[in-house]
Structure formats: C-alpha cells, structure tokens
Amino acid sequence: MSLLEDMSSALGIASLEAKGGSGGSGFASTGVAEDTSTGKRYFYKKGNDSADEKMLSAEFAGVKAMHETKTIRVPEPLVFGSKSDYVSGPFVVFEYLNIGGVGDGREMGRKLAQMHRCLSENGKFGFHIDNTIGATPQKNTWENIWPDFFIKHRYHAMLDKCSNLGFSDSEVKEVEEVIRRVLSEVDVVPSLLHGDLWGGNGAFVEGGEPVIYDPATYYGDREADIAMTQLFGGFGGDFLAGYNEEYPLERNFESRKLIYNWYHIANHYVLFGGSYMNQARGMMSQIKALGK
C-alpha cells in the first residue's frame, strides 16, 4: 500500500490526497494530505529505517504529553504508524495548523508557563522514552535529583560526543562541580518541557493563538526552556514578561541560563562543527568561572 493509503487506514477515513510539495524536517520527509471527502488537512512526517521510527515515536509521545496538558497549543497528535503495522511506515500524522498569524508574545509566555506547572507523575526528572535534540540522541533516564539528571544525561552525554571539547578530565570535573552547585541553589520541580524551544519552533496560527511544535520533550527545570528562547532569538520581551506574570523565574537565572544554553551550543558543534567549537569552549570557561 502507498503512504497515503496507509495513513487513510490509520486515521479511519476513506482516502487522502497529497496537497502541496513535500519537504524535510531533519531525518524525516514532511507533507500535507487532505481528506478527499471532507477537505480536512493533515500534516505528516515520514521516516525510513528503525532509527527514524524511534525518533518519530519519541516525537509523537512528546507532543502527546504536551497536548494532554490543555495549556499551550500544539498540533494534535493523531496516529503513529510503525513499520511493523504499515508497509509505508514509519510515519506520524498531526493536526494541520495554518501557521503564520500575528499574535501576542505575552500570551505565549503565559501559556508556556501554564504547561511548565504540569509535573511528572512519578516526581522524577526524565521521560519514559529517549528522544533526540536535532539529530543527536538524547537519553531521558529517570533521576530523582535534577543536578544528577543534567550532569549525567546532558553534560557528560554531550561531552562524550565531542571529545570533551579539548578540556582535560580534571577541568571537566571542575566544571561538573560548578554545575552541581549552581543547579542546587534553587528548588527545581520536574516540569514538562518542550526541550528545543528556539524561535523556529514557536509561532502563531491564523487568529493569533500561540503554538509550539517539534519538541525534544522531557521533565526538567522549566528555566531550561526559557534559556533557549533567549539563545537564537525569536522570542521578545513581551514573551518573557508574560511568562514571569504567570510563573516568575528564580533568582540568579543568568547563571543557570549559561549552563543550559551550553548544552545546545555544544550540540550545534556536534551537528554542524565550525565556530560552535570555540563558542562551546568559551561557555565552559564561563561556567568554570562561576565557581570562583
């Protein structure tokens, strides 16, 4: 069966037809399909191999967790089609959203803050499935303590992928100790995070409602999401003002922001190389200096 036939079967509708050209989203191809009877549209992602299937399954689980909070809007996750169930799998199908509207950044901040008040049921940090940050595998093994989670599954996991960025083992350990101290200065609860909240993953639909998508979801420190909104641009002062109205940031946020954004810059070095190496090294040196 074709991809459109398999998606029709999974959705329980008679037939779909492709609408518009297909594109790409990292490891997956993307497209829009329309119900031939009702005209309702769907957005889909299509992978190829078992690695793609794991990524799509994790994305589906992350969007589902965010959707179930009924806070900030995300594309409703409709079906995940595995390779074992569908010849054309793996694929995921989401609600189609007409993105490109103009909206209130303050409202987006408030809605994200509401999602961050949704905590893990087991009181731990992590997620029930591993996922990816970009194309980089990301472990989400549950941990009781936030600094333990970040140091094991973000700090060391990323350094292992880039040969410690040229730092000695003793320097890596010294930075680890600073990270543990800084992240222990505030009481952190396991908030549901988007996990990859740069400007390209947030927008407004027609009518102005804020929406976020393409997550790398896990339960962690909510300030990790806010830190990333300030890394690559796209979220203005109104966004932060709205967030703080709903759920104020803790003291000394700037120190934690440096730590959380180091992870993403180091990941960009893993993915793209180039000048991100020096930027990631510089940020590690800045983190080290926090201990003095």
Active site residues: 196
DSSP string covering 140-190 = ---BSSHHHHHIIIIIIHHHHHTGGGG--HHHHHHHHHHHHHHHTSS----
Q: Is the CB of residue 205 less than 8 Å from the CB of residue 73?
A: yes
Torsion, Cα 176 178 184 185, to 10 degrees, reads: -170
DSSP-assigned letters across all residues of 84-127: TT-TT--EEEEE---B-----HHHHHHHHHHHHT-B-TTS-BB-
Give the three-class secondary structure for 16.
Answer: strand
DSSP-based three-state secondary structure for 32? strand
Number of H helices, E strands in the chain: 10, 11
* Token pair listed for 55: 């990524």
Q: Is 122 left (phi over 0), alpha (psi -120 to 50) or beta?
A: alpha
